[in-house]
Amino acid sequence: MIIKIENLNYIYNPNTPFEKKALDNINLTVEEGDFIGLIGHTGSGKSTLVQHLNGLLKPTSGKVIVDGIDTSSKDGNLKEVRQKVGLVFQYPEHQLFEETVYKDIAFGPKNLGLEKDEVHSRVKKAMELVGLDFENLKERSPFELSGGQKRRVAIAGVLAMKPKVLVLDEPTAGLDPRGRDEILGRIQKLYEEEGITIILVSHSMEDIARLVNKIIVMHKGKLVMEGETKEIFRKAEKLEELGLGIPQITCFMRRYKSRGNPVDDTVLTVEEAKRELINYLRRRGNV
Amino acid sequence: MFRDITIGLYFPGNTIIHRLDPRIKIIIIMMFITSLFFITSFPPYILILAFILFVIYLSKVPLKHVLKGLKPLILIIVVTFLINAFLTKGEELFSIGPLTVTKEGLRQAVFMALRLIFLITGTSLLTLTTSPISLTDGIEKLLSPFKRIGVPAHELAMMMTIALRFIPTLLEETDKIMKAQMARGADFESGNILNRAKNLVPLLVPLFINAFRRADELAIAMEARCYRGGENRTRLNELKLDRKDILAISLSTLYFGFIISTRYI
Ligand SMILES: Nc1ncnc2c1ncn2[C@@H]1O[C@H](COP(=O)(O)OP(=O)(O)OP(=O)(O)O)[C@@H](O)[C@H]1O
Ligand SMILES: [Mg+2]
């Protein structure tokens, strides 16, 4: 396992009138090669949890261990933790600051103290990974790019640190459908081709269903469900209780089944549903 | 990590002090400050202290909370104390190296330190018991007679309101950007002063860009709702003086008038 969380509690502004318990006794392990979807209602503590994964927040009590390093121990090397776990915040394009795309992406690797050549090759690779044309864009100002491009520059900035685990906090918020598909496609490729372990926070059940192979559900600071994607989406009633839902196509298949059509109602994508329906109609035609 | 700085300013409540008209409170505080500067001896300080304690009692703001307001200014108080203690000429009490403490110096030091402490706690009582919005309302109303000589009362008040409104937002954003850059290995905590200043660039650039973007959006949103400054603008909650306001201002005038007069008897 690469990340282990034990009895993690976190309280914002402790001992003030504004005290707020944001995480309540979380236990979790992340294995190498996982693609985890983190879902939960607004304010359930998702962003707070992911900020613990690279030591930006320290547990009020409990432990977070990343690749053998305890993030709250005094001698724990936080720089190493932050290199291992790359965290892409919500609206990451708001953190761009350099004059050129190249310099901005190089910020992380430079902080790691790498050689110039290594920095160069990492910037180039990172831009390729997110689908930005290196030659055309490297000297451009990041502020004159489109929203989707800016966001990809920001993600490249994190990828250039070569993290083992990539955590993305709502990477598609505020993008149009095309920008969203592009980003998600790139993330899937990163998982499949680069073998990076990924944790994806998202409010879109469709995106989660399409991409991840494990789901973690949070509610009011607690981790309430954990399991394989299909397993979790089978519990539609429970999810709805928590203010969440299931993908629309899964919902459709469940209703279709409840009307007396024995189809597989655990499908998660339109493609799968199409195949299942064709099969079903053929089966029925043959009888 | 930044949130607690500003939130501490206003202590919500519904006591008579909280309900007093902000204009009255501002005027009383100005009388308070004026009288404080008229005092030249220790005895009237008792009256000042009594006033502060009385207001704290009525407003139900915990004493601890009021004293917390002194914390950021402790350095100034201490420096004032030391400068007065060491640099006043007079009858020598004792000396440390080349520095001598005189009897007059010690008296002066205690006197000035007390004046500062009273000044700070008194004014912080105003901000503790008055929400920023009603405070700016009060300022606007008090300044409006000066509109005729060209004081842009409404605009000043609006600027203050907006600035106050955005302090928590900016602090939150600072926190967020700092974390995002730390996630990319930025270091804001170590190194010498020059390095640290240089390391602030990745924080300040996005912060300013976002602030300007926000200002732009806010201006457009205000324009879209036909904001045209203070002319002919009415308000939802008109400030009205009632009996308790009249009573408060009359009693305070007498009280502080008396304190000021002690200087001349
Ligand atoms: N800096 C902070 N100071 C105080 N309280 C905070 C802070 N950040 C978050 N909280 C509180 O902690 C709780 C969890 O917040 P968090 O941002 O982790 O939720 P989230 O699941 O990411 O929500 P969203 O889906 O809206 O992003 C919320 O109730 C929030 O109000
Ligand atoms: Mg969040």
pLDDT by position in tens, chain A (length 287): 789 999 999 999 887 777 899 999 999 999 999 999 999 999 999 999 999 999 999 999 999 999 988 988 876 688 889 999 999 999 999 999 999 999 999 999 999 999 999 999 999 999 999 999 999 999 999 999 988 899 999 999 999 999 999 999 999 988 888 889 989 999 999 999 999 999 999 999 989 999 999 999 999 999 999 999 989 998 888 998 998 988 999 999 999 999 988 888 888 889 899 999 999 999 888 76
- Cβ <8 Å between A94 and B185: no
Of ligand 1's listed atoms, the one at least distance from the Cα of A18 is: 4
Q: Tell me how far the alpha carbon of residue A90 is from its chain's centroid.
A: 10
Establish if B141 belongs to a structural domain: no
Establish if B163 belongs to a structural domain: yes
Of ligand 1's listed atoms, the one at least distance from the Cα of A203 is: 25
Establish if B182 belongs to a structural domain: yes
Residues B196 and B248 both lie in one domain: no
Residues B56 and B176 both lie in one domain: no
Among the bound ligands, name the one nearest to the CA of residue A41.
1
Q: Tell me how far the alpha carbon of residue A49 is from its chain's centroid.
A: 12
Residues B109 and B4 both lie in one domain: yes
ipTM above 0.90 for this complex: no
Residues B164 and B102 both lie in one domain: no
Establish if B13 belongs to a structural domain: yes
Among the bound ligands, name the one nearest to the CA of residue A45.
1
Q: What is the pTM of this model?
A: 0.78
Residue B75 has pLDDT above 80, yes or no: yes
- Percentage of chain B exceeding pLDDT 90: 46
Residues B110 and B159 both lie in one domain: no
C-alpha separations of A278 from A286, B56, B219 in Å: 12, 77, 56
Asked if A43 and A203 touch (Cβ cutoff 8 Å), the reply is no
Residue showing tokens 């196509």 = A249
Establish if B145 belongs to a structural domain: no
Which one-letter amino acid corresponds to residue B162?
I
**Residue numbers of the domain that contains B40:** 1-130+238-265
Residues B119 and B192 both lie in one domain: no
Residues B94 and B38 both lie in one domain: yes
Residues B243 and B229 both lie in one domain: no
Strand partners, A212: none
Q: Which is it for strands A222-228 and B92-96: parallel, antiparallel or unpaired?
A: unpaired
The region of weakest confidence among A254-263, B65-74, B199-208 is B65-74
Residue B5 has pLDDT above 60, yes or no: no
Q: For chain A, where are the E strands, in sequence order?
A: 3-12, 20-30, 35-40, 61-66, 69-70, 85-88, 165-169, 197-201, 214-219, 222-228
Ligand 1: residues with CB < 6 A are A 12-13, 20, 22, 40, 42-48; B 3
Residues B7 and B58 both lie in one domain: yes
How many Å apart are CA B223 and CA A8, to the nearest integer?
48
Domain count, chain B: 2
Residues B91 and B197 both lie in one domain: no
The CATH code that applies to domain A3-229 is 3.40.50.300
A87 vs B3, B183, B205: nearest CB: B183
CB of B206 within 8 Å of a chain A CB? The answer is: yes
Residues B121 and B41 both lie in one domain: yes
Per-residue pLDDT, B3: 43
Establish if B215 belongs to a structural domain: yes
Establish if B63 belongs to a structural domain: yes
Establish if B147 belongs to a structural domain: no
Mean pLDDT of chain B: 87
- Count interface pairs A-B at CB distance under 8 A: 58
Residue B238 has pLDDT above 60, yes or no: yes
Residue ranges, comma separated, of all CATH 3.40.50.300 domains in chain A are: 3-229
Residue B128 has pLDDT above 50, yes or no: yes
Residue B1 has pLDDT above 60, yes or no: no
Residues B34 and B160 both lie in one domain: no
Per-residue pLDDT, B6: 43
